[in-house]
Amino acid sequence: MSELEVIALVTGASRGIGRAIAIELAGNKAYTVIGTATTAQGADSIGTYLAEVKAKGEGLVVDVASDDSVTGLINTIKEKYGAPAVLVNNAGITRDNLLMRMQSEEWSAVIDTNLGSMYRVCKACVRGMTKARWGRIINISSVVAFSGNAGQTNYAASKAGIEGFTRALAVEIGSRGITVNALAPGFIDTDMTRGLGEKQAQYRLAQIPLARFGQPQEIASVVGFLASKNAAYITGETIHVNGGMYMA
């Protein structure tokens, strides 16, 4: 596949890590970048920042927990731009609670959004990549898939599921020139972690050898590497970006 015609799809690009990833990929002028949000307002904001960095592409709305919504999104992208060859599965949520108090909806929402989305979005994109005999899939996991975390059985299970999913798919489609990798961030300064109380934040900070939370750009630059030619021989791997809080 020529680098001149790469369509890159980043889910959850309205803010936080996904926004930084979309801007990073947009730095490669060969890419057309489609970022997604759950609302029209979020999608508009993606269009605005992509225009600011003079990138090709736009923001579109999707709910990664819905089969129909994902099918609609991929059909729209294919009709307008062509099949995505770079896919960053970044959209994710938390619904923290101790297991004894966890509601069934809190469990299902997290599993369906974080892990179910891998099935939906990858499945919708793999055919196009297979035809092109080139593709890059990067799934955003989490350090807690490895370390565990109280109050996050749902979230840790969803992220650990992403790890297994990534390796199985890497084996399945490697022969088609498609790499599938996971990136496991530690604690990154976004809306997701800003919700932690001061006490939790201080406790977390004490576990990080680099003594600070990470910045979204520090995840985005590694995604940029995994999407690049330089990472052509890496597949089924997890890259940990966590300031040393967990050393695999």
The residues annotated with a catalytic role in the active site are: 155
DSSP strand pairing (238-241 vs 178-185): parallel
Is residue 152 a contact residue for ligand NAP (CB under 6 A)? no
Q: Which of 14, 179, 181, 235 binds ligand NAP (CB under 6 A)?
A: 14
- Determine contact, residues 105/97, Cβ cutoff 8 Å: no
- Write the binding mask 118 to 147 for ligand NAP: x where contact by CB under 6 A, - elsewhere: ----------------------x-x-----
Task: Give residue 31's region: left, alpha or beta (phi > 0; psi -120 to 50).
Answer: beta
190 binds ligand NAP (CB under 6 A): yes
Region from 56-64, 130-138, 166-174, 200-208 binding ligand NAP, contact rule CB under 6 A: 56-64
Q: Decide: is 113 part of the binding site for ligand NAP (CB under 6 A).
A: yes
* Residue 3: other Cβ atoms inside 10 A: 13
At residue 12, what is the residue type?
Answer: G
Using CB under 6 A, which of 93, 125, 173, 180 touches ligand NAP? 93
Candidate list 62, 74, 138, 182; residue touching ligand NAP; CB under 6 A: 62
- Residue that is written with structure tokens 């992208």 in the block: 77
Counting every residue, how long is the chain? Answer: 248
Name the one range near ligand NAP by CB under 6 A: 2-10, 87-95, 119-127, 169-177: 87-95
- Stretch of 5-13, 25-33, 49-57, 228-236 lying at the interface with ligand NAP (CB under 6 A): 5-13
- Tokens representing 86 are 């770079």
Alpha carbon dihedral 25, 67, 157, 193, in 10-degree steps, equals: 50
Smallest CA-to-CA distance from 31 within 212, 227, 176 is with 227
Nearer to ligand NAP, 15 or 56 (CB): 15
